[in-house]
Amino acid sequence: MTVRIARIGASLTAAAALVIGVSACSAGQVTQTADTVAAVPGANLQVGEYIMMNDVMITYPGPQGYPSGGTASMILRIFNNGPDADVLKAVSVSPGEGGSPGASDVRLVNGGGAPAPSDSGSPSADASGGPVTTPGSSAINVTILPNDKQALVPGEGPYLEVSGLSGAFKPGQSLLVTFEFERAGTKQAEIPMGLPTVPGERSHAEFPEAEGEGH
């Protein structure tokens, strides 16, 4: 009788330990998942059948954001998985829902802020001899060869500059951007502001010294 009770007690103890172990493991998994943050804050977009744009974002200028009338830079990586070359012809920014501003111009510039040379020659012209552009943008004309990519990243070469913001653009907001490709067509999407690359400064709270302390 004593042996049987001891065996039952041992079995119950082992079962309880198994339940506790499984619960602890599950709790750990939930916590780890809840704390997971996406490594890439930008937008990933597909245009047509072959064009992909990865990690598209507006650079983070600081907690104050961009002022009305200000100029922002865009990070854009374009991949062409098709058999033919394609051309990013124009980019424009329109006012969006939630108060996001539009922009008067989007142009391709080099690292020094000057207009970058076109990859596909001069922009086409209309009957009056002026360049054909989408309202709110300049002719971009960046060619992406078949099975190749183009990286338009500030500090690494030519990049897209968004100027003449129609309102303040704050962290947490997105710009409504339209991309126009020669073959793939047009894509409009919300492009977010990037995250800070370094942590902000932390202030230390100071408490008044208690009366009589330090004497």
> Would the pLDDT of 14 be above 70?
no
pLDDT band at residue 110 under the 50/70/90 scheme: confident
- What pLDDT, on the 0 to 100 scale, is given for residue 196? 85
CATH class of 43-192: mainly beta
- Cβ neighbours for 41, distance < 8 A, ≥ 6 positions apart: 55, 57, 192, 194, 195
- Average pLDDT (172-184) is 96
User: What are the domain boundaries of the chain?
Assistant: 1-36, 43-192
What is the model's pLDDT at position 112?
A: 63
- Sign of the CA dihedral with 18 first, then 21, 25, and 27 last: positive
